[in-house]
Every structure is written in C-alpha cells, then in structure tokens.
C-alpha cells in the first residue's frame, strides 16, 4: 500500500479521535468521554483528578464494577495489571505524571470497556455464595452495644485517592465511632494488596476517617504471607482471617469480632 495513503489515514484517524473526545472540567480535574463504547451502549468515561502539580489519578469512578463476585474481582485485578492499571476498591485506576497521562487514560478506558464485557457475559455460579452476603448476615446477628445504621459500598476521598469500604456501621448515638469493614482478597499479589491497604490508612490520616475503627476481613487467609498479615493488622482495629473453604464460618465469628472493637 502507498505510504502516503497510510500517513493520510493516520492523520484522518487522529483528527477524528480528537474531534470526538469530549471534556468537562471540574474543581478537581476533568472528565473525558472517549469515542469508544462499552457493550451496554455507553461511551467510555474516564476521570482525571490532579493531585499535585505533576501527579494525576486516572480512574473510572467505580461505575464498571458494581455488585461483582469475589472471583470476578480477582479477574478484574489481573486484567487491569496487564493493561497498565490497577483494580482496587471497586475502581479501575492508575496514578501517573503528566508525561504518561494519555497512556493512563487509554489504559483505564480499555479496562472499563473490557470490564463491562466481562460483567455482561459472565454467568454467576449460584453454588458459590458471596463473602459479602455472609458478612451482611453476620452483622445482622451482632448484638451491638448501641443502635447503628449499616451502609454498603461506602466510598471516601482521601488526600490522594478514592477508597471504598464494603460496609460501614454508623452508631446512632454520640461517643461511638463508625466501624469500617474492608474485605481483602489475595488475588495474584497478596503483598501488593497489603500495601494498598496500608496506603488507605496513610491517605486518610488527619481526616475525619482516621478515627474510624477499621476491620479487615482476609479471605483465603492461608494464601497471605505473615508479613502481609502483619502489615494489615498494623493499620486495623482488628482482622478476621478466613482460610480457603471456611467462608461459612464468617457469620458465626464476625459478631464477636465486631463487639471486640466497638468503641
């Protein structure tokens, strides 16, 4: 094929993409709508938050991974790693400097597009009950020393990033602190998951969330290293370790753990 034609085609494609990308500015950054669609007929939307002069957090806002299974979360984490991003707290995200910003936007956009394809094409295994469902029943059995309100999938904003707790118990009377429950799955990199959890604690330091009582529930605890477990314990009011195949014990063990950290 004629090289001149190929260069012309490239120029046309660049012009088309540039004209089709839309942008909305916000106080913290901007929202980009890319000219590619997810399988549920939505245009891919990527959020860019400037954290410092030359550091940006690029993410999908958590819109893709809603009500996913434990196994699907592991698959998303592996997929994001291959595409140049991470999957943490239900959000496809990555941090970068300005020089790598375009690559980060494309990586998160690709994660969002492929993630939705996996979600819609996935047939859940009804024989495998969600860990979160067992946790919720365990909370329901808890004889709390005070009335509380339970909220699910609570997103908070730290100094540098967004974070998600699977459950937060808000006391309905004063002089008690919320209990924030975070489910941690080893995925392909348990040490990396432990560091992410440590970053959550660091990123929320000196904020209204610092005093929350954090409870980390480690699934497949037999797959975590001692160092990783110790790091998580350091930043938690308590941990609940669930070995592979012992998920049914959550409902029985969780109430006592909650009572031990209720303050």
Same-domain status, 184 and 108: no
Same-domain status, 97 and 63: yes
Same-domain status, 179 and 64: no
Same-domain status, 139 and 254: yes
Dist. CA 173–CA 22, nearest whole Å:
46
Residue range 73-115, pLDDT digits in tens? 777 877 888 888 888 778 899 888 889 999 999 999 999 888 8
CA atoms within a 13 Å half-sphere pointing along the CA-CB vector of 210? 8
Domain boundary among 121, 142, 176: 121
Dist. CA 118–CA 76, nearest whole Å:
9
Backbone angles phi, psi at 62, to 5 degrees: 75, 15
Range of the domain at 73: 3-121
Dist. CA 60–CA 104, nearest whole Å:
11
The partner residues of 94 in beta bridges, in order of sequence, read 58
pTM: 0.60
Same-domain status, 185 and 105: no
Residue range 27-73, pLDDT digits in tens? 778 999 998 887 777 889 999 998 888 889 999 988 765 556 666 77
Same-domain status, 107 and 135: no
CATH number for the domain that contains residue 147: 3.40.1350.10
CATH number for the domain that contains residue 41: 3.30.1460
- Selected residue with higher pLDDT from 135 and 4: 135
If one counts the domains in the chain, the total is 2
Domain boundary among 76, 98, 121: 121
221 in any annotated domain: yes
Same-domain status, 44 and 94: yes
pLDDT of residue 125: 44
110 in any annotated domain: yes
126 in any annotated domain: no
Residue range 120-161, pLDDT digits in tens? 655 444 434 578 889 999 999 999 999 999 998 898 888 888
Q: How many Cβ atoms sit within 10 Å of the Cβ of residue 153? A: 15
203, 159 Cβ separation under 8 angstroms = yes
164 in any annotated domain: yes
Domain boundary among 64, 93, 121: 121
pLDDT of residue 127: 38
Dist. CA 53–CA 82, nearest whole Å:
28
Residue range 152-193, pLDDT digits in tens? 889 888 888 888 899 999 999 888 999 999 999 887 678 888
SS3 94: strand
């Amino acid at each position: 094929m004629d090289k001149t034609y190929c260069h012309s085609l490239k120029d046309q494609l660049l012009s088309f993409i540039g004209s089709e990308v839309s942008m909305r500015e916000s106080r913290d950054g901007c929202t980009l709508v890319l000219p590619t669609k997810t399988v549920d007929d939505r245009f891919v939307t990527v959020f860019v938050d400037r954290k410092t002069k030359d550091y940006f957090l690029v993410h999908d806002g958590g819109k893709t991974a809603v009500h996913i299974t434990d196994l699907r979360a592991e698959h998303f984490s592996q997929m994001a790693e291959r595409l140049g991003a991470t999957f943490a707290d239900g959000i496809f995200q990555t941090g970068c400097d300005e020089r790598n910003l375009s690559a980060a936007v494309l990586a998160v956009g690709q994660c969002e597009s492929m993630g939705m394809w996996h979600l819609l094409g996935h047939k859940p295994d009804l024989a495998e009950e969600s860990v979160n469902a067992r946790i919720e029943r365990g909370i329901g059995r808890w004889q709390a020393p005070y009335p509380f309100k339970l909220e699910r999938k609570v997103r908070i904003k730290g100094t540098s990033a967004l974070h998600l707790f699977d459950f937060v118990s808000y006391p309905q009377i004063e002089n008690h602190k919320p209990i924030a429950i975070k489910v941690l799955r080893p995925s392909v990199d348990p040490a990396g998951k432990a560091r992410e959890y440590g970053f959550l604690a660091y990123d929320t330091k000196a904020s209204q969330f610092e005093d929350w009582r954090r409870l980390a529930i480690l699934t497949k605890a037999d797959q975590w290293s001692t160092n990783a477990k110790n790091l998580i314990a350091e930043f938690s009011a308590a941990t609940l370790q669930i070995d592979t195949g012992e998920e049914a014990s959550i409902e029985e063990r969780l109430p006592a753990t909650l009572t031990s950290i209720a303050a």
